[in-house]
Amino acid sequence: MGPLFGAVLARALDAWWEELGRPDPFVVVEAGAGPGALARAVLAAAPDCASALRYVLVERSPTLRKSLEATMPMVTVLPELPAQHFAGVVVANELLDNLAFLVVERRGEGWDEIRVGEDGGRLVEIAFPAAPDLAAEAATLAPNAARGARIPVQHQAATWVRQALGLIDRGRLVVFDYARPTTVLASLPWREWLRTYRGHERAADPLADPGQRDITCDVAIDQLPAPSSVRTQADFLAAYGVDELVAEGKAIWQERAAIGDLAAVRARSRISEAEALTDRAGLGGYSVAEWVVG
Ligand SMILES: C[S@@+](CC[C@H](N)C(=O)[O-])C[C@H]1O[C@@H](n2cnc3c(N)ncnc32)[C@H](O)[C@@H]1O
């Protein structure tokens, strides 16, 4: 999450503001804001819509909310999505992969739900026959799953998308996440879509060290309300002018590399951020799902 991503999002916000007929206020809700890096980058890019912009950060963690309130007095910080409807945009970067999900496993003709229990002070998996509704849902989502295949069932993510859409009178919901259809997830070893990280390094068993690891799950895109469009992050960034911003960075770098001042360093890091963000085998392959409302 660097300045370039924020600068491109700022351009996208301007385009959406224009599309809506320049509403004032133009509400932008960023959900799962974390430490606020994206919001800072967007505001630093000084979008044209700035005069109408009401930037709202939604963050569940009280510690992060406290630090956002202390360091970003120009934004509103909330623990939940706002209660009132608005014209504008809801954005969420890597939020849906953080929400709790169920795991089910194909067993013979049926499905087991994989729950978590305790055995001698350790967390362990316990397989239960899935309730009929859940089994029927799993069978619809992954009809050809092999025995032993697992899928996530992401009710919380679907509910969150419905809730966010319900708030928007006119505008759009834009979600950035790693997303694949459930049938693809069913064909993969489950540890490939249910990943854990510790200190930014891939970790192993999701049940080890409870509370000490990030647990993340690829978003099963077909389990969400149908989006208006889904494209790769590389295509999204291209559509909102990443190439122009990178060309600008290259020109500054060429002019100032020998001086080596802050402008030169910023230009150089814009070029390397672009390489990472648009790499289709990495971050560029992330999905950007959009729901247009009204
Ligand atoms: C993986 S982090 C992403 C942070 C930031 N968007 C980024 O890309 O750097 C997910 C964030 O969402 C927050 N979160 C999780 N569930 C949430 C919810 N239901 N509403 C708001 N925030 C939530 C977490 O506390 C965490 O800060």
Q: What is the 3-state secondary structure (H, E, C) of 227-294?
A: CCEEEEHHHHHHHCCHHHHHHHHHHHHHHHCCCCCHHHHHHHHHHHHHHHHHCCCCHHHCEEEEEEEC
Res 267: pLDDT? 84
CB 59 less than 6 A from any atom of ligand 1: yes
Domains of the chain are 3-98+154-178+218-241+279-293 (3.40.50.150), 102-153 (no CATH)
**Of the residues 28, 29, 59, which should be mutated to test ligand 1's pocket, given the most ligand atoms within 8 Å of the CB?**
59
Average pLDDT per 10 consecutive residues for the chain, totaling 294 residues:
91 98 97 96 96 97 97 96 96 96 96 96 95 98 97 98 97 97 97 91 88 92 98 96 90 86 87 88 91 96
**What residue owns the CA closest to ligand 1's atom 18?**
60
Q: Is the peptide bond before 189 cis (omega within 30 degrees of 0)?
A: no
Res 285: pLDDT? 86
Report the separation in Å between the CA atom of 53 and the middle of ligand 1, taken as the mean of its atom positions.
Answer: 22
Res 22: pLDDT? 97
CB 64 less than 6 A from any atom of ligand 1: yes
Res 291: pLDDT? 98
Report the separation in Å between the CA atom of 95 and the middle of ligand 1, taken as the mean of its atom positions.
Answer: 5
CB 36 less than 6 A from any atom of ligand 1: no
Res 210: pLDDT? 87
Res 209: pLDDT? 87
Res 175: pLDDT? 98
CB 112 less than 6 A from any atom of ligand 1: no
H helix runs in the chain, sequence order = 3-19, 37-44, 62-71, 132-141, 155-167, 182-186, 190-193, 233-239, 242-256, 262-278
**Of the residues 57, 60, 66, 93, which should be mutated to test ligand 1's pocket, given the most ligand atoms within 8 Å of the CB?**
60
Res 254: pLDDT? 86
Res 264: pLDDT? 87
